[in-house]
Structure 1
Amino acid sequence: MIDESIYQLEQEILPHKAANAKLMIQQKEGVDFPEFKNDIEMRLYISSLKDSSYVEQHLVNIIY
């Protein structure tokens, strides 16, 4: 599992629409940077700009 402090993905998507988003993984001081030899596993958090109490979590696997 990748440390949540080294990746960021932000994209505003309108209801019933699709969008492309860029996932950025950056090395941070004091955090071990993983070797990307195998698939990547992380949590995806989905939140609402209109309702700050709405949050979803999904486990995501990126297979390469």
Structure 2
Amino acid sequence: MEADAMTPSSPTATVLKTEEAIIEEIERGLADIKAGRTVSHEAAMKVLRKIIDAETWPD
């Protein structure tokens, strides 16, 4: 078997890196939940509505 056959293709390597980053972010989020670093849906939506209301929308 040639060495090239053992090396992941560039798209495969990119997908693996992306999936690894996603898993790391999920783990970080789970750690935040365990540590009590959360915001209620209502509180988050209140902040988002203020941001949206402050924006100027193009015609």
TM-score by length of 2: 0.18
Which structure has the larger Rg? 2
Compare the two structures and name the one with the higher strand fraction: 1
TM-score by length of 1: 0.18
Compare the two structures and name the one with the higher helix fraction: 2
Structure with larger RCO (C-alpha < 8 A, sep 6+)? 1
